[in-house]
Amino acid sequence: MKKYDLFTIIKPNLDNEEADKVVARVEEIVKTLGGSVLECDKMGRKKLAYEVQGFLDGFMVNQVVNVPADKIAELKRQLKLNDSIIRVMFTTKECA
């Protein structure tokens, strides 16, 4: 399995506890697809460079995940279905 960086921005109108639940839900999705979360960096609430879906800030989370290559499309689909996530960036992590 390859490593991927999964960067998500969660709606700012949620409190910290609700944002943590969204992060836990993302981790649960990864695990049900046969992957694992290697690192999770909750960066907190940050101001955005530009407006995204009507929001000027959001809770930012960066996760390093292992996911089978054939499950990537399903992971992206599941993340898009989550109304609490306003932006997702999914990239391959280069290993040295």
Q: What is the pLDDT of residues 5-42, one digit of tens each?
A: 999 999 999 999 999 999 999 999 999 999 999 999 99
| pLDDT value at residue 69 | 87
Provide the CATH number for the domain around residue 34. 3.30.70.60
* Confidence check: pLDDT of 53 > 80: yes
25 CB burial (10 A radius; 0-12, 13-18, 19+): middle
Mean pLDDT in the chain? Answer: 92
Asked whether the beta carbons of 65 and 36 are under 8 A apart, the reply is yes
If one counts the domains in the chain, the total is: 1
Q: Which domain holds residue 66?
A: 2-92
63: which residues sit within 8 A by CB, 6+ positions away? 5, 6, 7, 8, 23, 26, 27, 37, 39, 40, 41
58 CB burial (10 A radius; 0-12, 13-18, 19+): buried
Q: What is the pLDDT of residues 71-80, one digit of tens each?
A: 999 999 999 9
